[in-house]
Amino acid sequence: MPDPTGPIGRITRCSTQSFTGAVRPSALDLPAFGAFCQAQDQSGQVQVIGVIYDIRIEDDPLARQMAALEDLPSEQLADAQQNRQAPIEFSALTVGYRRAKGYSYSLPPQPPLTLAPVSLLEGEDLLQFTEKASFARLILASLNVPAEQLLAAALRCAVQARPEGERDRYLMLSGRSIARLLAGDLARLEQVLGALRETGG
């Protein structure tokens, strides 16, 4: 297993289908919607791979009271944004996993462990995992996420990870795979393509 590159947070709750992590906003840049991430499962042999579908910042009465002010003191604004919001929660939909034999685009045998570090899937790992657009299957099968928007954002992330000269070809091949998956649901396919166009993919 490769070492995770710089954790973005730690898991607070999870299942085989999704996991939720927490991150301090002051520690690093926030994860983005559609980004791929990974966390180790309970056996220590499997790296569970997810796509971030929700980033949540809760409010409270003090935040609401302060939001209504015309002139919020700068130190209180910094306190609210960097201290009080912690932790920010992000949730990822599981789209596959990796073990010694390679990648699988189905649900893992076990979920990650509580407080397991979550890191972004980047570089060569991201290229390999997204080489096939098979991760789209679990996204499109999920009922609890904005699937079309998420798939478009994930594809965009995979495209951006590739060298400029390979992007159009990758997008075309991925588009074909997704078109096959959604052959019986053209309205949904149009939603994915529309979202891709809007995100510049």
Q: Which is nearer to another protein, 76 or 128 (CB)?
A: 76
The span of 36-44, 69-77, 87-95, 168-176 binding another protein (CB under 8 A) equals 69-77
Q: Shortest gap between Cβ of 116 and another protein (angstroms)?
A: 20
- Tell whether residue 65 is a contact of another protein (CB under 8 A): yes
For the CA atoms of the chain, what is the radius of gyration? 18
Q: 18 has which bridge partners? A: 93
The span of 68-76, 94-102, 117-125, 157-165 binding another protein (CB under 8 A) equals 68-76
Strand ranges inside 41-198, DSSP E: 47-56, 88-99, 102-104, 117-120
Which one-letter amino acid corresponds to residue 85? Q
Instruction: Tell me which residues in 17-56 interact with another protein (CB under 8 A).
Output: 26
- Tell whether residue 66 is a contact of another protein (CB under 8 A): yes
Q: Shortest gap between Cβ of 181 and another protein (angstroms)?
A: 44
Strand ranges inside the chain, DSSP E: 7-14, 18-23, 36-40, 47-56, 88-99, 102-104, 117-120
The span of 80-88, 108-116, 136-144, 176-184 binding another protein (CB under 8 A) equals 80-88
Distances from the Cα of 139 to the Cαs of 10, 92, 192, in angstroms?
22, 11, 12
- Tell whether residue 106 is a contact of another protein (CB under 8 A): no
Rounded Cα distance between 181 and 184, Å, is 8
Grouping H, G, I as helix, E, B as strand and the rest as coil, residue 158 is helix
- Residue count, binding to another protein (CB under 8 A): 16
Q: Which of 79, 185, 190, 198 binds another protein (CB under 8 A)?
A: 79
Q: Give the residues lining the site for another protein (CB under 8 A).
A: 26, 62, 65-66, 69, 72-76, 78-79, 81-84
